[in-house]
Amino acid sequence: MKMKNRLTYSRREAMRGVLFIAPWLIGFIFLFVRPFVTAIVFSFNNVDLSNGFIDLTGMGFKNYTDAFTEDTKFMVLLTQALSKMVYQVPLVVFFSLFIAVVLNQKFASRGFFRLVFFLPTIISSGVVLGIINGDTLYNAMQVGEKTTYMLQTVSVQDILRQSGVSETIITYVGSILDSLLELFWYSGIQIVIFLSGLQGISPTLREAAHIDGASAWDFFWLITFPMISPLLLTNTVFTIISTFTDYNNVVISYISEIASKMELGFSSAMSMVYFLITFVIIIVVYFFLNRKVFYRNT
């Protein structure tokens, strides 16, 4: 009893809090920190599992220097992934914002469209997308050599070619259109998150703005946009993370490929490099955007 009295209120509160997060904390230490540290150790070693135990031979920074100098593909894939991210992330964020704004309007079929726009989340987070695109019959049934989806960019390219536009511009336009089609597959969750934000904007605000003579355009830029700007930050970070950690990401699949050849030290070094770059980008983007975000409470 005496013991209990000595615990101050804040100490007791702290204890309860720690108890609540205890399962996560145990998982974090043993299922995250420990493997993460081991991965760092691996990256400085040559790892051999073939004898039934983990056999490490110190390599210093050799795995790291090899990733940049010896390996021919890693740097290429890395720059490819980074440059793809540079245009894909803003496109996905603005596309999903646009669609969310449209789906937030009142019209009869909006429930159906909301369902449709979530469908890509189910399809694209799994194997289906890769399988359909790799299927020969599916490809054969599409006309032309470039096979994405029904709205073929090929036809657009054909029109351009017939009107005498130079080949480099055609390829460029084609790649932009292809990546536009890809957007739909990576925007599902972002649309839902934006939609939830838009629904939090009360209709009375809209009325008040209307009475004050604001147009829908003004309302969007002066009220809606600032109010959902925290979500803009959330979605940007989420999109960067999901493009970086996606199974279909070229670097990720290359690292998995190396790991499956049992070159575990080397693959660990590459994934560390990759992770560090991701991490720095996310931190920079976060602090850059966070300064511009409008928070209602402050």
CB of 76 or CB of 128, closer to other proteins: 128
According to CB under 8 A, which one of 79, 166, 171, 196 is a site residue for other proteins?
Answer: 196
Query: Measured from the CB of residue 176, what is the shortest distance to other proteins in angstroms?
Result: 16
Q: For the window 255-274, what string marks contact with other proteins as x by the rule CB under 8 A?
A: xx--x----x--xx--xx-x
How many residues at the interface with other proteins, by CB under 8 A? 95
**Smallest distance, other proteins to C-beta of residue 36, A:** 5
C-beta of 209 vs 282, nearer to other proteins: 282
Burial of 89 (0-12, 13-18, 19+ CB in 10 A): buried
143 binds other proteins (CB under 8 A): no
State which of positions 204-243 bind other proteins (CB under 8 A): 228, 230-231, 234, 238, 241
200 binds other proteins (CB under 8 A): yes
> Dihedral of the CA atoms 196, 201, 203, 206 (nearest 10)?
-130
**Residue 85 binds other proteins (CB under 8 A):** no
Taking the least distance from each CB to other proteins, the nearer of 157 and 266 is 266
Q: Name which of 169 and 276 has its Cβ closer to other proteins.
A: 276
C-alpha distances in angstroms, 195 versus 31, 120, 168, 190, 233? 34, 16, 39, 8, 15
Structure tokens belonging to residue 70: 């010896």
Name residue, tokens 């147009």: 215
Distance between CA atoms of residues 151 and 265, nearest Å: 44
Cβ distance to other proteins smaller for residue 30 or 165: 30
With respect to other proteins, which residue has the nearer C-beta, 168 or 297? 297
Which residues between 111 and 140 bind other proteins (CB under 8 A)? 113-123, 125-129, 131-132, 134-138
**Identified binder of other proteins from the candidate list 61, 172, 221, 247, rule CB under 8 A:** 247
64 part of the interface to other proteins, by CB under 8 A: no
Distance of closest approach, residue 100 Cβ to other proteins, in angstroms: 11
Compute the least distance from the CB of residue 131 to other proteins, in Å.
Answer: 6
Does residue 181 interact with other proteins by CB under 8 A? yes
User: Mask: binding to other proteins, 17-56, rule CB under 8 A, as x and -?
Assistant: xxxxx-xxxxxx-xxx-xxx-xx--x----x-x----x--
Q: How far is the CB of 194 from other proteins (least distance, A)?
A: 10
**Smaller CB distance to other proteins: residue 19 or 143?**
19
